[in-house]
Homo-oligomer: A and B are copies of this chain.
Amino acid sequence: MKKNKAICDAQTCFMCQNCIEEWRPAICANKTNFKLKKGELVFKEGDAVTGIYFVYSGNIKVYKKWDADKELILRFAKGGAILGHRGIGDDLIYPISASALEDSVVCYVDMKFFESTLKVNTELTFQLVNFFANELRVSERRMRDLAHMPVKGRVADALLKLQNQFGITDTGLININLSRQDLASYAGATYETVFRVINELVSENTISLTGKSIAVVNQEALTALIESA
């Protein structure tokens, strides 16, 4: 990661957004920016936690390894998002890994400084609680889905979530460049199975392909797959 002078942009960082005005200068003074190339790791499972990151630009995948060649993608962190918040608390070790899906810029704040900010800045802490509560809700819903929903539904769910988070291009394609492997890791299934499901969805006219990009054609059909078993 290439280190840069910090540029504090209140529009694109959770910490600045939710911090009281007076703390902004201090935050800027304690921030470090990092430039990441595509594929570069921000941190990985087992690394010691020393601070917290915020994404300025680009797209970071947050995932948890299972095998050497299996993982589950937990979420994608885009501009403004917190990164590494799972390192907060008792445990001083990241339980997850994060790597850049495209060239990205993140900023870093030392954990001591972040925690002392939290102690002082009630609003920030309160927003953080809300943020965590949401993460937990999403996470637990996904737990249930992974346990009970068949792969086809999980793929449908993944596609809709991707469309929600990344929007669509003017030609209707989901606006993210994701390898099939990563899509599979996001849906929590194998490469080949996801591939077949994608084909199935195409032949049912629920989605369409343009190169590797995917467009949702029949949103209701996808939703239907998620609702029932």
Contact = CB atoms under 8 A, between A and B. Distances in A.
Contacts of A200: none
Q: How many monomers of this protein are in the complex?
A: 2
A72 B133 contact: no
Interface in A115-149: 115, 118-120, 122, 125-126, 128-137, 139-144, 146-149
Nearest to A185: B147
B229 A133 contact: no
Interface residues of A, number: 46
Contacts of A90: 130, 134
Contacts of A80: none
Contacts of A180: none
A96 interface: yes
Nearest to A131: B89
28 contacts: A64-B141, A66-B148, A66-B229, A70-B148, A72-B143, A72-B147, A74-B140, A85-B136, A86-B133, A86-B136, A86-B137, A87-B133, A88-B130, A89-B130, A90-B134, A91-B134, A96-B140, A115-B126, A118-B125, A118-B129, A125-B129, A128-B129, A132-B133, A132-B136, A135-B136, A136-B136, A143-B146, A147-B188
